[in-house]
Amino acid sequence: MNDKNIIYAALEEFCKTGIKMDSHEIIREKDGIVLIKIKSGGNSYVFKYFDNAEYRREIKIYKILKSLDVETVKVIASNEKSILMEDINESETLRLGTEEDMSDPTVAKALAKWYKKLHSAGYGYIKTYGDDFYYENSVITKENLAFVKKKTKTSKLPVWKNIEDNFEKIESAIKNEKYTFNYNDFYYMNLIVAKDKSKAFMFDYNLFGKGAAVSDINNVCWSLSDEAAKTFREEYGEIDAKETVIEEVASVLSSLYFACKKEEFPDWGTELLKQLENGFDKKLKALTEL
């Protein structure tokens, strides 16, 4: 990617905001996404450029969340290919998440409040405008499951026939779920925490989309310590039991597909295969009996 072209795009936004660039430093360049740290006087900003059109959906997400009063990183300016944001590393009140936060019940409680607000705001928005939102469970098709079966060399497992025989019921249950916003990509490096731990929220919306709230909750709690996960669930509150039954099947199938698409099969994919071999028939039976 041409660095000069990126800087020119940044300068175009600076002209609109009145920010003068003193210096810049490329922080990261991966998958067509470039992060550049900008120095302007005594201030610091982060410029994010999306070369891949698919990933530009993130720009729209920042605008949507702001309009719904869901806290996120402050965006200074944006255009169709880039956004200029506050630099959290220079914030007096906020900091980036750490691995230690995954074991901190206080952070978990603050984060649960953010997720609950995110989901509450998402139900109405997705119902009206959600047709084009990214949806992870859309990969659950007969063709993709055949691909998973072949790639993992598990075609002899009896569970596959059970899945195939009940595919229409699985598909129908997923399509009839109550959708809201799904962050989908929980990881401590995507976390922002107030320095006094009074609030916490996620940023970096590359995989942001729609889905069942319980999918998001499980995604978070999988990374938290037992104590932090318990605090998160207690603060978040009641979860739809029907959604849990559906997602216990859907999340395994969709995640296995994503694991198989990676160049190297991940450890978490191996754990999912273990689930497929042990107790998945029971989960599938619960779904078919809804």
Task: Write out the residue range of the structural domain in which residue 196 sits.
Answer: 96-288
pLDDT average, residue stretch 50-60: 89
- pLDDT by residue (tens digit) across 132-183? 899 999 999 999 999 999 999 999 999 999 999 999 999 999 999 999 999 9
Return the pLDDT at 1.
Answer: 52
Q: How confident is the model at residue 276 (pLDDT cuts 50, 70, 90)?
A: very high
Q: Total domain count for the chain? A: 2
Distance CA 89, CA 96 (A): 7
Handedness of CA 125, 56, 177, 120 (dihedral sign): negative
Return the pLDDT at 94.
Answer: 97
Last residue of one domain, picked from the residues 91, 119, 149: 91
- How high does pLDDT run on average in the chain? 92
For residue 50, count other CB atoms closer than 10 A to its CB: 20
- pLDDT by residue (tens digit) across 193-224? 999 999 999 999 989 999 999 999 999 999 99
Return the pLDDT at 78.
Answer: 87
pLDDT average, residue stretch 79-96: 92
Q: What are phi and psi of 26, to 5 degrees?
A: -70, 120
Do 82 and 105 belong together in one domain?
no
Report the SS3 class of residue 150.
Answer: helix
| Contact between 181 and 119 (Cβ < 8 Å) | yes
- pTM higher than 0.85: yes
Distance CA 265, CA 278 (A): 20
Q: How confident is the model at residue 271 (pLDDT cuts 50, 70, 90)?
A: very high
pLDDT average, residue stretch 176-192: 95
Last residue of one domain, picked from the residues 91, 122, 147: 91
- pLDDT by residue (tens digit) across 222-244? 999 999 999 999 999 999 999 99
pLDDT average, residue stretch 90-113: 97
Return the pLDDT at 22.
Answer: 79
> What percent of the chain is helix, strand and coil (3-state, nearest 5)?
55, 15, 30
Last residue of one domain, picked from the residues 91, 110, 136: 91
Do 18 and 146 belong together in one domain?
no
CATH code: domain of residue 39: 3.30.200.20
151's tokens: 């790639």
Do 256 and 126 belong together in one domain?
yes
Do 160 and 56 belong together in one domain?
no
CA-closest candidate to residue 135, choices 218, 244, 216, 208: 208
**DSSP assignment of 30-48:** ETTEEEEEEEETTEEEEEE
HSE-up of residue 283 (Cα within 13 Å, Cβ side): 21
